Amino acid sequence: MRLSLKSDSKKLQNKLFEYERDEQISNIEVLEMTQLADESMDKVEAKYLTESKDIIQKSVDDISQALQKMAIAIEKNKPSQEDSDNLNEAIQFQLAQLIVNYNRTVGKVKFKTGFLKYFKKDS
């Protein structure tokens, strides 16, 4: 199973495309994405968002580490195909939950009409 992401940020979309070309993600690419994500978050200077920014960054780091630990445990314990499929699906749903909530919250803009629209700008 694979999960893909499409972004309206040109910089991110180009990087994702680059990573997906060979259908493998290397440790170097993971470290690079972590650095890019942190640099991107550092550009947000609004003081009233500091606590939330810190929580998001720590949570993403924790999730990334948990995924690595799961991969090691899976390799070591050789789960059944059913367990492996169930785990993959469960993690994809968890990640989708984040994306859905992002799109519902900070990923939208409220226009004067009161209707909610998603960002379409190129970054």
Per-residue 3-state assignment (H helix, E strand, C coil) for 40-109: HHHCCCCHHHHHHHHHHHHHHHHHHHHHHHHHHHHHHHCCCHHHHHHHHHHHHHHHHHHHHHHHHCCCEE
Q: Which two tokens stand for residue 38?
A: 């942190």
Structure confidence at residue 67 as a pLDDT band (50, 70, 90)? very high
Query: Which residues share a beta bridge with 42?
Result: none
Segment 31-64, tens digit of pLDDT: 999 999 999 999 999 898 999 999 999 999 999 9
**pLDDT for res 73:** 94
Is the whole model's pTM more than 0.85, yes or no?
no
For CA atoms 33, 34, 36, 41, the dihedral sign is positive
